[in-house]
Structure 1
């Protein structure tokens, strides 16, 4: 992991991008790795540059900052920057790292950067990163209509096929993710998520109880009270995982 925090600036206004870059230049151990001025460019830059933190404008002509995050494989740390404070409640409900109202005050930006550095250090997982997998503390951005959330993988109890999408269950909430279950499984750490049956991935750390079921399978009771059936085909692998 680089000691410098790699930051991407996303704002449709050139002056705003310049001001943020100038403020970042005054901070130690921070590197501005790029800029983007609309939703498609921001998505491309996040995927290509893989920044540690995105300073993300909310209201842009081509869409919103929430549109930028929607559908990304993994969400970076995000600090929203906007001239409109009416978005603050929505941003914090989504569990964004911070929310800065323009014009951005240097001290507030420095505090947000400090939060990002602390969060990055806490979430570092060399084992999973070396395998190109999403780790325990990596986060995804979930959206259900106007409601949005940043969710760490360890907060997800299960992921279930829902048509061409995957329905994610977390913190007593549920939302659709525009990814197939197989695509998600390929990115998730197998030490954390287990394919219980054709339609369900389950977070093994959320399992509270395991019982034998009809047909030599298992019924898992999760910490949120839900149950997941483990097929006979997957039962042997589960025994090996849990040393049953």
Structure 2
């Protein structure tokens, strides 16, 4: 996977280079400080991924994309989260906040690999086995959530509960309750088990939001979550795991 780094900050480009060294199937094919240099690089050679800053002298990252007839897959790298919605509107694969975390970069690269494989690109190199597994999402990660016409860019640390609602999953954060087309099993496979706990067949909780625990029927537990009125009943089997997880 050949990557073009586009960022007016030399230090930011150097840090991305350092992080990308952890991925054997990735090579940095070029660097650009602004939109003009990026266009020249893109005209001169083929890239599989554009790691693109938004705020640069002259044209922004969005303006660069708008000027291109064709562009490789794009992952934005920026210090601001205000442009997340627009980033996904221009079909960016991911949106990484600076300082970029290796786990988030790994997840973004996995999205690129998946798209390359779906398109049948002959340039895909087989990743190391560890890289083939998407990185777990921690509380510090941010996710894009869309429900109807409303959109959010949510830090997972602020999500207190995931709950099945029909064929969708409802996400509880602040006073919002959007629905997403994901199953709990899909979410459980991506969420860090040290922070997100499958309480029962219907719910996954953020352990940081547990405000109270009380014994319940048949050796099960009942949890009260702060920040809302939710009360979660932990199944008997999961109550055993809950005690083991949080006991000294």
Scaled by the length of structure 1, what TM-score is found?
0.56
- In the TM superposition, 1:42-191 aligns within 5 A as 45=73, 52-53=77-78, 58=86, 65-66=88-89, 68=91, 75-77=94-96, 116-118=97-99, 120=100, 132-191=135-194
Q: Take 1:179 and 1:187, find their aligned partners in 2: how far apart are those partners?
A: 11
Q: Does 1:4 align with 2:23?
A: no
Contact 2:196 2:206 in 1 (8 A): yes
- 1:23–1:204 Cα change, 3 Å: farther
1:198-234 CA deviation, whole Å, 9 max, x = no partner?
0100000111111111121111101123111100111
Unaligned runs of 5+ in 1: 7-18, 26-30, 59-63, 78-115
Q: Does 1:22 align with 2:36?
A: yes
User: In the TM superposition, what is the alpha-carbon distance from 1:45 to its structure 2 partner?
Assistant: 2.6
Q: Take 2:143 and 2:88, find their aligned partners in 1: how far apart are those partners?
A: 15
User: In the TM superposition, what is the alpha-carbon distance from 1:180 to its structure 2 partner?
Assistant: 1.1
Which one of the candidate residues 206, 210, 215 is aligned to 1:207? 210
Unaligned runs of 5+ in 2: 1-11, 20-32, 40-48, 53-63, 108-129
Q: Take 1:226 and 1:181, find their aligned partners in 2: how far apart are those partners?
A: 18
User: In the TM superposition, what is the alpha-carbon distance from 1:65 to its structure 2 partner?
Assistant: 3.9
Radius of gyration: which is bigger?
2
User: In the TM superposition, what is the alpha-carbon distance from 1:237 to its structure 2 partner?
Assistant: 0.3
Match of 2:242 in 1: 238
Contact 1:36 1:45 in 2 (8 A): no
Q: Take 1:165 and 1:231, find their aligned partners in 2: how far apart are those partners?
A: 21
Q: Take 1:232 and 1:182, find their aligned partners in 2: how far apart are those partners?
A: 19
User: In the TM superposition, what is the alpha-carbon distance from 1:67 to its structure 2 partner?
Assistant: 7.9
User: In the TM superposition, what is the alpha-carbon distance from 1:176 to its structure 2 partner?
Assistant: 1.1
- 1:24–1:157 Cα change, 3 Å: farther
Q: Take 1:238 and 1:67, find their aligned partners in 2: how far apart are those partners?
A: 42
- 1:147–1:23 Cα change, 3 Å: farther
- 1:145–1:217 Cα change, 3 Å: same
Q: Which runs of 4+ in 1 moved over 2 A?
A: 19-25, 31-37, 50-58, 64-69, 123-126, 128-131
Q: Take 1:214 and 1:175, find their aligned partners in 2: how far apart are those partners?
A: 31
1:165-196 CA deviation, whole Å, 9 max, x = no partner?
21100112111122111011101100010000
Q: Take 1:148 and 1:176, find their aligned partners in 2: how far apart are those partners?
A: 11
